[in-house]
Structure 1
């Protein structure tokens, strides 16, 4: 894939072909492996992909003719890298399926999907799909929050989704010329807007009763406020909220994310942001990791590489800070 976590802003790459086998390879190169089938009745085939990067956000314009593209369970399971993507229809129509939902998108509409789970696109006519790709770990959505909003239609020209859609279109039309650190901030902030839109659209814990939901929100706030404390964990959180650890784990079971996994994800994200921040350029990797609750540098480095695909030092170098 063109996108690499922590990559510096890159120039535009263009791939165009009239052969379907080359088209399948181009899609695999710029995105992920898909099981693809063209419409045999369309005659001549053509397809093109134009991609650029804004730090760890890849923006792409994809054009082709009627076809079906599937991310099968075997393809998703065989890939060690996971991405969160937005597909925005600029021409033609698209039907996206994921997580038991199916939505029809027409011009200006967009939807969220994930490459770590099966999905399918059925694209009709002479279509154009604008695709925005983040490493999954870089977007602050829990598994439950994501699964509640994939394959849901967002109107790209009205309301809050229109604001997000306009920003996405602007990034594709004219990727900004930014410093490496500035590009990281833009990619993060746009990702946060997408996460906010997703959370506002659908409440993944709607099945919980009001007291449990309120407790879960208080615990989330507590975790955010105490990430720097290396002693933060299920025992201390349960004690602070007068519940047992068993009750705490049961409460998180419905979110698709364990307590420990949420703490680790948020700590890594805080570290990643500081590593790309010029204002923290004089802080060592050790200082940053300890500030966010990682007392063991080798353990932090392993966790960071596993999540973002680069060591903390290499990520900082690519971010230009």
Structure 2
């Protein structure tokens, strides 16, 4: 399916800014967009519809966007716009709050209230780039007064719930071209659940989340924990359950709707990391058993059998298929 991409580079130079102005108004309601360099303006917009939600990936030169009270009265799509800044800077003011976003920051704004934003790129970072999640207000199981506490507030996505949401949004965009028909609705629901959990967490109302949203967030936290601890040979369902203060039985119930168990997920991810390292020229001199040990495999023979069962060849064969021979045979296995 993939992103539907619109790029001003395909338009005559004199039409580019006017097109952008209209496109922004169609997405978030009528907006006054201005630029100090209208003649040199360039921008691109990728759109991915996810059933109840929509993701837009934007890249553009410096501009200012304002939605006045008059424009709000004229038309209001009643959406929240959750922005993940990817490049440049973005100054945002709404509801008597102001913030300056830098790459990696998340922030929320509402189409139902006046706002003012200024985006800028830089000589080293290029144009401003942002990923924007459009969320219909009616779909959020949170009172507007709760979500509105976070308007124009910059929240770093380095860790915690914010990191989970940011990682999810980026991965959805990255994998968009591989999505099959019908995946949109399912992904949209997952995305709405994670966005709701993020907002509730930062508004200190996480205990009021519906059960399915709490379970979705818990699963994402578990996934992130597994990926960060693959190198630990002791990583196991009991360890994961204890770390998240749940029973092993509940852990397995959370994975029941997936195509793999907890243990199989751990093994698959470890094997994927090993396969990538074995094909990495920078690690060509590392013995196979060392690569395996780096990702939690303590038994070289068991690793070799598991690798062959999944990849159809021994680890050493996989390495030789992807890399030229290493002098001295250090990487053989």
TM-score strictly above 0.5: yes
Deviation at 1:65, TM superposition (A): 1.2
Q: Structure 2: how far apart are the matches of 1:43 and 1:28?
A: 20
* Equivalent position SS for 1:122: strand
Q: Structure 2: how far apart are the matches of 1:200 and 1:24?
A: 34
* Equivalent position SS for 1:49: strand
Alignment partner, residue 4 of structure 2: 12
Alignment partner, residue 179 of structure 2: 177
- Taking a change above 3 Å as real, the CA distance of residues 81 and 26 of structure 1, as seen in their structure-2 partners, is closer
Alignment partner, residue 100 of structure 2: 104
- Taking a change above 3 Å as real, the CA distance of residues 119 and 201 of structure 1, as seen in their structure-2 partners, is same
Higher RCO, Cα 8 Å, sep 6+: 1
Q: Establish whether residue 47 from structure 1 lines up as the match of residue 48 from structure 2.
A: no
Q: Establish whether residue 73 from structure 1 lines up as the match of residue 69 from structure 2.
A: yes
* Equivalent position SS for 1:148: helix
Q: Establish whether residue 90 from structure 1 lines up as the match of residue 86 from structure 2.
A: yes
Structure 1 gaps of 5+ residues are: 1-8, 205-216, 226-321
Alignment partner, residue 34 of structure 1: 31
CA deviations 1:63-85 (Å, max 9, x no partner) are 11111101111111221421111
* Equivalent position SS for 2:88: strand
Alignment partner, residue 20 of structure 2: 23
Larger radius of gyration: 2
* Equivalent position SS for 1:184: helix
Please say if residues 13 and 50 of structure 1, whose CA atoms lie closer than 8 Å, have aligned partners that are also in contact. yes
Q: Structure 2: how far apart are the matches of 1:10 and 1:29?
A: 21
Q: Structure 2: how far apart are the matches of 1:28 and 1:89?
A: 20
Provide the aligned length of Structure 1 versus Structure 2: 199
Please say if residues 109 and 152 of structure 2, whose CA atoms lie closer than 8 Å, have aligned partners that are also in contact. yes
Please say if residues 96 and 102 of structure 1, whose CA atoms lie closer than 8 Å, have aligned partners that are also in contact. yes
Deviation at 1:102, TM superposition (A): 0.8
The two structures have a TM-score, normalised by structure 1, of 0.56
Please say if residues 157 and 166 of structure 1, whose CA atoms lie closer than 8 Å, have aligned partners that are also in contact. no
The two structures have a TM-score, normalised by structure 2, of 0.54
Q: Structure 2: how far apart are the matches of 1:21 and 1:90?
A: 24
Structure 1 moving runs of 4+ over 3 Å: none
* Equivalent position SS for 2:45: strand
